[in-house]
Amino acid sequence: MFVSAATAPWIAVVAAAIVLCANTVESDANIKCYVCNSHNDTNCAQEKLPDHFKMECSKLNTKSDTKNYTLCRKIIQTIEPEVNGLPSDKNRIIRTCGWDASNYNNKCYHRSGFGGKQDVCTCTTDYCNSAQKTYIAFATLAAAMFAILTL
């Protein structure tokens, strides 16, 4: 088969686009996050996390339940022990993989209800759910806003 000089650049562009798309799908499918819960292991609340919390998210899939993990998530959970009778380890930090494709990608949001509240931040790069400072600043801001609104 003969390829003319005029079509050769187009073939190169199409080939590059295919490779780029294949690499994007591969990286989404294999995102890596820190996976832990400070309720089970207090090291999960540290600023510098141990390497044993690092996990390739696809390894969380089971034979009966597979998810296309696309993001990392960090949850700061505040439990009100007087409401639900739980021990007073009021704050928990939960780091995990996620698959939510909503408007909250690379953003933080706040949820509250009977017995507690959650500040949730998501991000889409490997091990991005480790940072403390960004999440602490968000949690402080959310708590201040909540206090202002209740006054």
Residues 60-110: pLDDT tens digits? 988 888 889 999 999 999 887 766 666 655 789 999 999 876 777 889 999
What is d(CA 24, CA 95) in angstroms, rounded to the nearest whole number? 24
| pLDDT tens figures, 9-54 | 444 433 433 333 343 444 445 899 999 999 999 999 999 999 999 9
- Domain-by-domain residue ranges, the chain? 1-30, 32-150
What are the DSSP E strand ranges found in the chain? 32-34, 36-37, 54-56, 71-79, 91-98, 108-113, 116-123
**43 close to 35: Cβ distance less than 8 angstroms:** no
Supply the CATH classification number for the domain 32-150. Answer: 2.10.60
What is the value of pTM for the model shown? 0.65
